[in-house]
Structure 1
């Protein structure tokens, strides 16, 4: 039996009164996730808990605006990428003004908005793992995370994952936060549930560690896009790291990992991704991250219709040009959604006129120059090979 929801308790931050969602190994879904099967909304225990609590907050008026229950206006742009565009003008008008970001390693500032200030009604539940060996030696209580509503939602069920919010960590990925994000993805039986992260300088709006999760009932090319391994053929696989692949044809250079969650795959994925983002931080490179259910890696790409199965997780990390300073909330931005092929647009004119060529041109504008990207790949190769040498 899966562990039930438990009541909160105590007196302290707003979230201490929130119910606790306890999950264990048997709640992680490693088979039976597919498009065209049971469909969005049928839901795992996690999906049911998240969406019911989220819709309760919607009825209670906790959001800055209401998404239409029939769904946002959406269309797929003509072209081979199948980019999904949606019209969401209220997000541009009503969302909290983004913070001014000046550095990738900008310290947490308790005087500015952060998630310790959110009211209790925005908290859906506390996330507590039970008996998951992949959590390592992290104390279960110390590692308790929060799931809260995004009051300016991109899509239905849009939530924020807050790993250990009371520690007031800046917007830098930790190994624990990556592991939580992977567990969140595997708790859902809906292939449309995605998880992502924007670093500082890559359109993050709040400098307090958080990741996004939301449901999008559209397939994205990243689920099946062709990849090629970074290391040359015959290189010995690392026991510490997952194999690192590169997106073969994406307009922005992306690093790709894959795990089906078995044999310690989540822990290895978290370790690998944390090592990669650590290198990016040392290089002061902004980055976006997107986690989605998808096909195993390789080439040729299996294609959208070759199989509905999406049992594993594709983890895509994009190093990119940094965007520091005050953000214009009305301007086009490229962050985790856009890089993944999901374009939330702010005006009817943008929605009706945007073409695939224009969208891909904006993506290229924020991509690393070819020489800098090649140098980064060399450094990542050295990181992986150094790890292999240490194992011998």
Structure 2
């Protein structure tokens, strides 16, 4: 999402028209799901992807028409056997996409363009989940313009009949105007806090940033925790030795402890386990973490089972990682598994649809 925001800002600053393409509905199998976006600029630059390159070329021609007219529209691609023959793209896919092309014109409609930039900036900076309804069709474009984004509360969800976590198209009436809404849940960017600013934290920061995570590195050593070593990090926090009391962590915060100091790691683990975080990864061997937990118990601290479920040590998936880059990949892959409720198995063994959550994975209790 950050790349879309930066792309919108760039087009705004350059006074360049663009089209924001959003997948509204998917039937069958597809490369991306509802809510996926790409930005198509007047110069031909495409930021983001909807289909792995399958439709972007054709989509650009539709986008040019939207730029010229300033009128948003929907386009449908059907790649199921008969539909694929119709489109003549020969993709061999087995799904259909409904894509909405939204005009972005900072030249003739600067106010609407600025509002769109602000709406998406709010998404990437939000610390809390919320649900929005985007007007994709309107019976009265003057009173309720296409592209209007409405934050929906509990009463709205009851009124319009949708679940907080669901993407869907909904025909409804707002302020007396018949509209078609694209209901979209907005989740905060996942946050990663890394305790330990050693060299092996560098690839973990880099890979997490590539996935648009918000990343914080905390360490008591100023010579390690600095912008020279971590130019991409969102936040650098200088702490006392093992002190994390003032560092905010919550339900969207994934924590990795990798100070390489046993006493510091033990203190951090003891402080972090009761926090309402979904994931606590600790670098080191199984014997090392067992020794830590034994010492924590001996100190009189009770370790509840629901707290221990968030603990991952040795940290990461079993991919035979050896280099710092491979270890970082292993850790991040495990965090993504946890975030998405998956178990990390090879996809060739998966029986359920690829984009359906595993119902057998127990979610991490928060607020423990």
TM-score, structure 2 normalization: 0.23
Q: Which has the higher strand share?
A: 2
- Structure having greater relative contact order (Cα 8 Å, sep ≥ 6): 1
